[in-house]
Amino acid sequence: MNGLEVGMWVSRVARLIDVRFGALCKIKFDLLASEAQLLLVLRRSGRPFALRPTDLFRAQLLTSAAITKQVHQLCARGLVVRNRDPLHAGGYLVQLTADGLRTADTLLDELLREGSAADQIAALWTELEPEEARVIRGFMLRVLTISEASAKEAQTVVKKKRAKAD
């Protein structure tokens, strides 16, 4: 197996999971997958369930414009609010509302329910021998670590090219 095959395999699995997640978000919550992910990032941040837009676009690997659009949509639905950030003059925090927190919690329950994609993956995992599971987990963590470093490096190159263009 070469690097291209591994990349294609991992990418295909990720897309299949994304398709299923997107359908769940639209059908059960009338949300785009990216909007649901933003709610989950805020939920995962812990009380007071608020983050700066910069933290959100870094967590989701999206542009600031994409986050701004999502925040606008979620504000219109009453799932998040914008509050002034007391630590950054002129900045703001995006915070879950009570409805946003309920939606995020319900979404998490749905993602973890019996028969969900996560449940099916867990069932497959239990069929592995302990040594197989250890090797696969180690491999996946290594691929993730290398991929994150490579993505960070690529972002740095893009920023330098943009700076030169300006």
Residue with tokens 């007071």: 48
Instruction: Supply the pTM of this predicted model.
Output: 0.72
Domain shared by 113 and 53, yes or no: yes
Q: What is the pLDDT of residues 6-30, one digit of tens each?
A: 788 888 888 888 888 888 899 989 9
Domain shared by 53 and 75, yes or no: yes
Domain extent, residue 144, equals 129-166
What residue type is assigned to position 110 of the chain? E
Domain shared by 106 and 139, yes or no: no
C-alpha 44/C-alpha 161 separation (Å) is 34
Domain shared by 69 and 113, yes or no: yes
Output the average pLDDT for the chain: 86
Q: What is the pLDDT of residues 64-90, one digit of tens each?
A: 888 889 999 999 999 999 998 888 877
Report yes or no: 151 and 158 within 8 Å, Cβ to Cβ.
no
Domain shared by 56 and 118, yes or no: yes
> The domain spanning residue 80 has which CATH number?
1.10.10.10
pLDDT the model gives residue 133? 87
